[in-house]
Chains A and B, each alone.
Chain A
Amino acid sequence: MFYFRYLRSELVGRRTRTVLTLVGLALGVALVITISGLARGLDRAQKTALNPLSEIGTDLTVTLSPQQDTGGFGRGGGGEVVQANQSAVTDLSKLGKPGTQFVHDFFLPGTQLTFPQKQTAKIASLPGVASISNGLVLSAVHQEGVVPKIVAKIKAGGQQLDIRRQIKPPTAAEAAAIQACFQKLGVGGGPQSGTQPGGQQGFGGGRGAGGGGFFSSPAARKCLPARMREFRARITTPQQTLKQVVSPPQTNIKSSSYAIGGIDPAQQSIGLVTPSQLSRGRFFSKSGGHEALVSAAYAKRKSLKLGSMLDLNGTRFKIIGLVSPPLGGQTADVYIPLAQLQKLASQKGLANVVLVRATSSSDVARVQKEIEQTLGSGAQVASAKQVAASINGSLVDAANLSHDLGLVLAIIAAVAAFLVAALLTLSSIGKRVREIGTLKALGWSQRLVVRQVLGECLATGIAGGLVGVVLGVLAAAAIGAFGPSLSASSTTGAAGANDVLGLGQALARTASTSVSLTAPLSLSLLVFGFALALAGGLIAGGAGALRAARLRPADALRQME
């Protein structure tokens, strides 16, 4: 068929233009496919990772927050939080003897107040409530290291004391005794000349006459009374206060924090984590022994495996399962049976989360109100939807971005692809006006000319669309293979309104999970991208060809090449 040969010659003969149009179309199509796929991937990731809860729609989370307005400092409000978190103070002296290794986990309720489990029974009896499950979620701080030796060195002394005292001269009796002693020793000289009772003089003379050598001789010293042989006095040094900075002890204590949740192993349909969220291993046995479930993300971070042992203040828990619970307000990294956690954290009979399932989703709002009334102010009852809204992180950012921008981007890409196809086709036709004029001069009808040009556009559109689909699929596969991991995290207890004493931030619990980015494609998406390229080429080609073909041949021939 001549027209097909002509078509082929046109496409092959104008290779550069054909390839350019084809590449433009293909890139546009690939872009549309990739962006749309990415948006779908983000949506899907968000759905699976974040809020499957919202699909249930009947679950409520009840927590109790301290109320700033219920009392002054130390009572009701901040006091409760401070009291609850008292065990946070690390008393080094209680950890062991200095130099010994210690491992300790501190369990803090954070800003969520605990309440007796008995109280939650009231919720269970409310109309419209199908079931409830108690939970205790605590912020745990894991510390380990060597108990430091605390030694303070204080330097004292070194002061100089000057003491002056008059020594009393010897009494007459003493002088006589001395005299007698000297004589007995047979010492002549000075003492002999002064035999008169003016002993004082004799003593003094001895001093003045240069008889010093005599007194210092050990023999002579024996003749002196004890009082004069040695000087004795009691001196009280002046009182003074010594100040010295004691440098803190060297320690190698490492702290890490995680969230730990206590769940009721008997209640398996609703809870902080349920058997359906197990990704590996098994769920707690109903009796609830020393077993632990670990969130998959935490296990990956800490290289924990099934069967690993967790030591919590001397109690060893065996990891029996990995879970991927949805991120919500009450997500933890480690889960152990509620009773075990209560014992470990000295929170016997206490819970701080109640998960409530309403009998039907239409009851949710009413049940929510009733619980708030039953528990009084401070009770926070959040629906799954509200919980999902509090989740943040790069996944959420990206998903929101894709939600807001994805559509816009896809539209921009689509329009760009469309425009590229249209402009390239139009310019290609613009350069062929003279050729079209020639064809018309040869006797080609308008219909025939348009058909021929459309045929070319159709061929480029199909080829460009196909290449674009392939490129898009490759790009999506590349995103799946090398795409970044997106994280999502939810923080509990850091709500500004409840941030009593500024503890909120410090005690906030954060749980996180990560999802790798993918760009899932669907047949309809590929078909859409392909159709887009085709439509762009055909519409532009049709319009351009029609315009050129409608020119009088004389006018078309006058066009410069």
Chain B
Amino acid sequence: MTGDLLYDVRNATRSFRRGDATINALGGIDLAIEHGEILALVGPSGSGKTTLLQLLGALDRPTSGQVFFEGRDLNTLGDNELADLRLRGFGFVFQTFNLIPTLNALQNVEAKLAPTGVPEDELRARSLALLEEVGLSDRADHLPSQLSGGEQQRVAIARALATEPRVVLADEPTGNLDSRTGTEVVDLLTSLSEERRHTVILVTHDAEIAEKAHRSIRMQDGRLLEPTLA
């Protein structure tokens, strides 16, 4: 592999305790992801796609094994370092949009940018610019409840891109959208990311969406089905 290797996942497992039973959501994942790649994780629900995405996005820690990001073992980082990594390194898009319901579209973008400490006027200008890029500059003062699903997801994309992250992680971004809107949203996400040379990891169960990725990996029962050579 070259120096462009962004992720190196080595034998990562993740199990949950539910009562007395232990559920192995991920069983020994080995995965390498290159910088600038658009990767689709495909598989039926319960196959472990979301769990893997959360490990990659530093939202969770593996039960065993390692996740190297830019050569650093995420296990060795503390909560604050992981928070900073999520702030500057990652951008998330969720199936349920996860916008802050009391903040308007503009403020939802600002919520991602504010912890970086940018001055107030820059915060506003950059957020507005991002909303314009996703075509929602006229909706800046609308609350999420006043926006359609597609519009909400576009706000979420603007928010994910706000800190110029290295990776955009999207968990079923089309799951709550009709297929036409879903396609539009994914097209927007991939095109904006390619412009910026962001790596995109896209979890979906929709084959049509997966086709938009450079590479797609099938998952079943917590394991990868296809060879993972990049």
Contacts and interface: CB of A to CB of B under 8 A. Distances in A.
Contacts of B84: 443, 445
B100 A438 contact: yes
A73 B143 CA distance: 97
B31 interface: no
B9 to A, nearest CB: 16
Contacts, number: 85
B86 A552 contact: no
Contact of A552 (B60, B98, B143, B159): B60
B86 A442 contact: yes
Interface in A1-51: 1-3, 5-6, 9-10, 12-14
B107 A444 contact: no
Q: Which residue, B57, B59, B80, B143, has most C-beta atoms of chain A within 10 A? A: B59
A370 interface: no
Interface in B107-124: 107, 110-112, 114-115, 120, 123
Given A5-B107, A446-B79, A441 B60 contact: no
B69 interface: no
Interface string A534-556: 00000000000000000011110
A10 B83 CA distance: 23
B103 A444 contact: no
Nearest to A446: B79
A156 B30 CA distance: 137
Given A13-B102, A442-B87, A2 B159 contact: no
A555 B88 CA distance: 21
A555 to B, nearest CB: 8
Contacts of B57: 441
Interface in A429-445: 434-435, 438-445
A13 B100 CA distance: 11
A12 B94 CA distance: 26
The SS class assigned to the A binding surface is helix
A318 B61 CA distance: 97
Q: Which residue, A3, A442, A552, A555, has most C-beta atoms of chain B within 10 A? A: A442
B163 to A, nearest CB: 7
Interface in A82-124: none
Contacts of B88: 443
Nearest to A448: B115
B27 to A, nearest CB: 18
Contacts of B112: 442-443
Contacts of B80: 445-447
A443 B54 contact: no
Interface string B57-97: 10111000000000000000001100111111010101000
B107 A2 contact: yes
A439 B163 CA distance: 14
A531 interface: no
A115 B83 CA distance: 94
16 contacts: A2-B107, A2-B120, A2-B123, A6-B102, A6-B103, A9-B104, A13-B102, A434-B98, A439-B111, A440-B83, A440-B86, A441-B92, A442-B87, A443-B90, A443-B112, A445-B83
- Shortest beta-carbon contacts, A-B, top 9: A443-B87, A13-B102, A554-B60, A443-B86, A2-B114, A553-B59, A554-B59, A445-B83, A554-B54
Interface of B: 54, 57, 59-61, 79-80, 83-88, 90, 92, 94, 98, 100-104, 107, 110-112, 114-115, 120, 123, 143, 159, 163
